[in-house]
Amino acid sequence: MSTTAPVVVHPDGELLARATAARFLLALVDAQSVATPVHVALTGGSILVDTLRAVAADPLRDAVDWTAVHVWWGDERFVPAGHADRNDREAVEALLGDLPLRPEHVHAVPGPDAVADVDAAARAYTEELARHAAPGEAVPELAVVLLGMGPDGHVASLFPGRPSLGDQSLGALAEHDSPKPPPERISLTLPTLCTAHQVWLVVSGEGKAPAVAAALEGTSLPEAVGGTGDGESVPAGRVQARGRTLWLVDLAATSALP
Ligand code: 6PG
């Protein structure tokens, strides 16, 4: 099934990052005018780090009450706190370290320095999400989730053909054998991503163009490029936010669209 999600195209990656940063800041201001606190989720990836740097440089950042923002991770690599491979370390360096966030509102996924294994990390993160959920809910309402996408169409740490893609629970799951290193990761489940008010897929570069086309068409990629070749949608094409799903891309990422 193809998607009807809007696709906003920017000329290049730099403008994509700057425009996404401005959009993100305004979305936070809007969300804060309705309810507080506001929860957001970030993931890793090059364009998202560029976007976080652009948020740091944007004067609009002062319009957000950062003391009432909770930050979660859509996925994290299971390596110790402070490790160069961690998504949260990149985010702290690019932006979070610069903001007046409350430390207890920055929800890092525990690493091997804190818990026994990747399953324990996923369980702990699921419990942490539940602690911040509204009564009767399993996870907090995420106002905006920022997702990068891999060339195989993966989002967060939900990879094509992996059992994790079918996990119907709400919370976090453990991935033991990710095709993208490192193999052990923690990811929000697909249903959790889909409870978000808005999910934005932020994608840059020609290398991602076949996956953008497959996701928008709701189909698979060939096995040779990390897909399943079975006609079932790549993970990115399965994300449907409760409110709005938005593709924010640069021109190069659209080069395989009809
Ligand atoms: C990770 C990410 C992953 C990432 C995409 C895009 O931990 O690896 O969260 O889902 O967002 O792989 O990454 P690039 O933009 O670097 O290709």
Using an 8 Å Cβ cutoff, are 72 and 189 in contact? no
Using an 8 Å Cβ cutoff, are 155 and 212 in contact? no
Residue nearest to atom 7 of ligand 1 (CA): 44
Q: 42: part of which helix (H) or strand (E)?
A: strand 38-42
Q: Please count the other Cβ atoms lying within 10 Å of the Cβ belonging to residue 120.
A: 15
Asked if residue 1 belongs to a domain, the reply is no
Work out the mean pLDDT of the chain and round it to a whole number.
97
Asked if residue 33 belongs to a domain, the reply is yes
Helix axes 46-57, 13-34, angle to 10 degrees: 60
pLDDT of residue 218: 97
Nearest to 253 by CA among 212, 216, 215, 220: 212
Asked if residue 237 belongs to a domain, the reply is yes
Residue nearest to atom 2 of ligand 1 (CA): 44
Name, in order, each residue with C-beta under 8 angstroms of 103's C-beta and a sequence gap of 6 or more: none
Q: Each residue of 118-153: pLDDT tens digit?
A: 999 999 999 999 999 999 999 999 999 999 999 999
Exposed, middle or buried, 115 (CB in 10 Å: 0-12/13-18/19+)?
A: middle
- Ligand 1: which atom is nearest the Cα of residue 154? 10
Looking up residue 182, the CATH number of its domain turns out to be 3.40.50.1360
- How many structural domains compose the chain? 1
Give dist(CA 69, CA 233) in Å, integer.
33
Task: Tell me the residue type at 149.
Answer: M
- Ligand 1: which atom is nearest the Cα of residue 204? 15
Asked if residue 202 belongs to a domain, the reply is yes
Alpha-helical segments (H) within the chain: 13-34, 46-57, 87-94, 118-131, 190-194, 209-217
Q: What is the mean pLDDT of residues 161-177?
A: 97
pTM of the model: 0.97
Asked if residue 210 belongs to a domain, the reply is yes
pLDDT of residue 98: 93
Nearest to 145 by CA among 20, 2, 29, 3: 20
33 CA distance to ligand 1 middle (Å): 31
Mutating to test ligand 1, I would choose from 48, 152, 212 the residue with most ligand atoms within 8 A of its C-beta, which is 48
Ligand 1 pocket list (CB less than 6 A): 43-47, 75, 77, 87, 148-150, 154-156, 180
Q: Among residues of the chain, what percentage have pLDDT more than 90?
A: 98
pLDDT-based confidence at residue 4 (cuts at 50, 70, 90): confident
Q: 199: part of which helix (H) or strand (E)?
A: strand 198-203
| Residues of the domain holding 96 | 7-254
Token representation of residue 237: 């094409």
Angle at 28 between CA 23 and CA 33, to 5 degrees: 125
pLDDT-based confidence at residue 2 (cuts at 50, 70, 90): low
Asked if residue 235 belongs to a domain, the reply is yes
The position carrying tokens 């993208």 is 180
Q: 203: part of which helix (H) or strand (E)?
A: strand 198-203
pLDDT of residue 1: 59
Residue nearest to atom 1 of ligand 1 (CA): 44
Asked if residue 184 belongs to a domain, the reply is yes
Asked if residue 2 belongs to a domain, the reply is no
Token representation of residue 140: 């907090």
90 CA distance to ligand 1 middle (Å): 12
